[in-house]
Structure 1
Amino acid sequence: MTVVDEKASRPDATAPHPVAAAPHPVATAPRDAAPAPRDAAPAPRDTAPVTVRLVEPSEHDAVAALLVEAYTSDYDISGEYRASLSAVAERAAEHQVWVAVGADDQLLGTVATPRAGRLISELAHDGELDFRLLGVSPAARGRGVGETLTRHVLDLARERGASRVVMNSGPQMISAHRLYHRLGFARFHERETRVLDDGTRLFAFVLELSTPEAPGAPGGPGAPGASPVPAAPAHHLSTHPRTAKA
């Protein structure tokens, strides 16, 4: 997603943005919801560095395939939503599509953000930065790619002077909620107004950039409608995502 030059909105976008690998991955979930990681048996850890950069036009098809694989490995999705995931070229023409790559430039994951001064979802307000379609290749899980991409979004928000980072997440995505809590996000109840066709009400999450990045910091006295995200009991993590479509 001819393509508008995605680097125009960031003066330093011509150079890859190195980000340190983090301990937990995030997989994707359908319907714009910030996705949950798939819990699995530990695999040998790949310590190669992960770099985040803007997608190249030649990679649009590969990123589309990565998103579809990431979503369908955990969830049943409709043909309509599969087509939306695959519309990378169109998305890149309007917004920014980022990719996480390994040392060999292998695609590991992706996330989409708005260009500076714009929004990418109905959730965000002016002065905030939102993101969606965070996805990690199933083959790259265990390398902290999802957290690396999320931290890149937070860095981008600070660089643009945003007051908050916000996103939606499905209520069944408990592992993802634990990741957001660890990074300092909190539930944002007053923004939880989006209801899907099947009746599912999406959770909203917020990270206040004016407060320290620590669990429980957002959602304090200056964040109306926000509350800390409780850590989920361990037994909840074994629930197979296919039992709760979004």
Structure 2
Amino acid sequence: MTSQSYTIRNADPNEFEALGQLMVQVYSQLEGFPKPDEQPAYYQMFSNIGEFTQNPGVEILVAVSQKGTINGGVVFFRDLQYYGSGGTATQEKNAAGFRLLAVSPESQGLGIGKALTLACIQRAKDHQLSQVIIHSTKAMQTAWQMYERLGFRRSEDLDFMQGELPVYGFRLHLPA
């Protein structure tokens, strides 16, 4: 698949279940990341991914192939009060965020994660917000590198523990 053979768009509600299954598959295979039996509530969140859209300003974005296959997705939050993470991120003002970025194993390395990230950054700019907040774990080091190339910087004030798992905050300041 070439990088031009997918489209980034808002997910249709009838795609939420397939995206949730993709997210479970991706996250459960990450080395060093808790498995479904270790953090069942976290994986239940993937299965019910569409519930995020019941909050204002929350969008689920998907990367869809020309054949209609979901190759990846992410949840964008225009208002961090709905972000749902630990730590202090939900108290940040004038900030957007995104969570739960996942790209199917067969589609990794094609720029889909970057395209989904850039779509979230653009939405934050469109809403004239001053920053984008995200979180990651050591199991997602590949994504860290991409985020840093896009201008995100580690922000230790956003770090928190999710059970036994350290979760690391990143911040991207947007030009005014």
1:57 aligns with 2:13: yes
Gaps of 5+ in 1: 1-44, 212-246
2:64 counterpart residue number? 101
TM-score when normalising by structure 1: 0.61
1:68 aligns with 2:68: no
1:188 aligns with 2:149: no
Describe the shift of the 1:111–1:210 C-alpha distance in structure 2 as closer, same or farther (beyond 3 A). same
Secondary structure in 1 aligned to 2:126? helix
1:176 aligns with 2:132: no
Alignment partner of 2:97 out of 120, 130, 135: 130
Question: 1:196, 1:202 within 8 Å by CA — same for their partners in 2?
Answer: yes
TM-score when normalising by structure 2: 0.83
Describe the shift of the 1:189–1:139 C-alpha distance in structure 2 as closer, same or farther (beyond 3 A). same
Question: 2:78, 2:95 within 8 Å by CA — same for their partners in 1?
Answer: no
Alignment partner of 1:157 out of 124, 133, 150: 124
Question: 2:153, 2:172 within 8 Å by CA — same for their partners in 1?
Answer: yes
Describe the shift of the 1:141–1:182 C-alpha distance in structure 2 as closer, same or farther (beyond 3 A). same
Alignment partner of 2:113 out of 130, 146, 154: 146
2:169 counterpart residue number? 204
- In structure 2, C-alpha distance between the alignment counterparts of 1:116 and 1:160, rounded to whole Å: 10
Question: 1:127, 1:162 within 8 Å by CA — same for their partners in 2?
Answer: yes
Q: What one-letter code is carried by the residue in structure 2 that aligns with 1:155?
A: Q
Question: 1:185, 1:206 within 8 Å by CA — same for their partners in 2?
Answer: yes
1:90 aligns with 2:51: yes
Q: What one-letter code is carried by the residue in structure 2 that aligns with 1:128?
A: A
Range 118-127 or range 152-161, more displaced: 118-127
How far 1:48 moved relative to its partner? 3.4
- In structure 2, C-alpha distance between the alignment counterparts of 1:174 and 1:127, rounded to whole Å: 27
Gaps of 5+ in 2: none
The structure richer in strand per residue is 2
> CA offsets, 1:30-49, max 9 Å, x none?
xxxxxxxxxxxxxxx63433
The structure richer in helix per residue is 2
Question: 1:116, 1:160 within 8 Å by CA — same for their partners in 2?
Answer: no
Q: What one-letter code is carried by the residue in structure 1 that aligns with 2:12?
A: E
Q: What one-letter code is carried by the residue in structure 2 that aligns with 1:49?
A: S
> CA offsets, 1:81-109, max 9 Å, x none?
22111112312222311111122222110
Cα RMSD (Å): 2.1
Range 169-178 or range 179-188, more displaced: 169-178
How far 1:121 moved relative to its partner? 3.6
Question: 1:121, 1:131 within 8 Å by CA — same for their partners in 2?
Answer: no
